[in-house]
Structure 1
């Protein structure tokens, strides 16, 4: 519900705070943003970065996989970390929130906290707006200035999503935390190999350290590994919910899946790292 997070949001044009008006949000200057009937607000402004949000099919596939419980170990880890580092009532921001699944799990352990689900896909925002009554869904580009006030949130989540280190640091309160989940190179590797999906960059961990090192210091890091036993339909949804959906035609994917034995067995492997905002930035 957007009312729960209005006090942390900022106008994307002038950076000032927003207030709820009849069916819209408005800043002191008069910039006005209408609320979509699906429950989210668009705070996109200016020319885009060229990054396309997930389409309806990708979001539907992700919803199917997550709600079936296949990524429960990741959701449980995110929830534990959010509960550990978020002070009572502190706002939680999920950058690249998708359907709102991970933010919903995090808020379950933070009973007094509101949550902001930020995504550039309107289809994702529609899902996130309905994920939990304390979630306010915001259509915005994670690569641009985030439409939140300086120091307005206690915890930022970033699960399989883009990250703009400077902006995440700006919106965090002093001493705030960032929880990042990234896939390991062996994540779903047997499925990736058999279906010709996109592989994980071997330098992903190094690039993450380079992105965040100036502003964040790591506090804890864990590898979360678990097996997946999938029907052919579920395996198709796993492939369709990620970036491979843009590179492998649906018909070709189904042809490859038809050659696999059922159930399809594979292993998920991700690294979950919690960072603390540095007290000073050189």
Structure 2
């Protein structure tokens, strides 16, 4: 049950509340707002909340399959361990993909409910089944999030779009924003051989520059460790992200059978500034 979460969500067309599930039971678990705008629940369990101009399709089915395989193998579990638990309330992961990180946080937050937001239908299909206290919705994370002002206790952003003004709008006073970004040495051993996209060395500074008007940093932790990967795992790692469109496939065969790859990320925790 996600009754608390439904109360926090808002219609992307008019901004009104969604009616309680009991009143919308005839829509087979979909959502209907007070003005009658209806959003059916797909057979796979997610709700499509895109409204207006279609912003695109997001990650492909192949990219999501790679992500599910790589994250399911536990390689990024130390990244999930960096994320804070929530005392209760609503947890939202933007650009959630399969909902892996959201599910790990909910496991440590028994009184919380979670919402996985992603532009990709293929991602939402996976995320809809990720946790019994979560639901998934297709939404444009660069646009207005389908949530009420001050309704969210924790926003998770792990290698995802950082819509800082919207994060500030939906977070309640005392809420938190957790952002995971790659450090310059992240995946360094395979970036050049496979033609992957480089990590912007100024990413952390740029993040600070766009958050300083809305947030203050209340915690930060760096994680650097080595992953022992075979070719299948490397293929999943590359295929699950934006480098999937740029990677030179021939380079994978030239790598050693097992590759030591650096995982290097920063998890920064932000508190919204008073207005």
TM-score by length of 1: 0.92
C-alpha deviations, 1:102-121, integer Å up to 9, x for none? 00000111101000101001
Q: Does structure 2 conserve the Cα–Cα contact (< 8 Å) formed by 1:49 and 1:143? A: no
Measured in 2, the distance between the counterparts of 1:4 and 1:215 equals 26
Does structure 1 residue 273 correspond to structure 2 residue 268? yes
Deviates more, 1:14-23 or 1:156-165: 14-23
| Compared CA separation, residues 141 and 210, structure 1 to 2 (3 A) | same
Runs of 5+ unmatched residues, structure 1: none
C-alpha displacement of 1:247: 2.0
Name the SS for the 1:99 alignment partner.
coil
**Aligned pairs (5 A) from 1:84-163:** 86-87=86-87, 89-163=88-162
C-alpha displacement of 1:3: 5.2
**Aligned pairs (5 A) from 1:167-186:** 167-186=166-185
C-alpha deviations, 1:180-218, integer Å up to 9, x for none? 000011100111111110011111111111221111100
Moved over 2 A (4+): 1-5
TM-score by length of 2: 0.95
Runs of 5+ unmatched residues, structure 2: none
Q: Does structure 2 conserve the Cα–Cα contact (< 8 Å) formed by 1:16 and 1:27? A: yes
Q: Does structure 1 conserve the Cα–Cα contact (< 8 Å) formed by 2:195 and 2:246? A: no
- Partner of residue 263, structure 1: 258
* Equivalences, count: 269
Measured in 1, the distance between the counterparts of 2:255 and 2:3 equals 48
| Compared CA separation, residues 59 and 3, structure 1 to 2 (3 A) | farther
Q: Does structure 2 conserve the Cα–Cα contact (< 8 Å) formed by 1:118 and 1:137? A: yes
Measured in 2, the distance between the counterparts of 1:206 and 1:189 equals 20
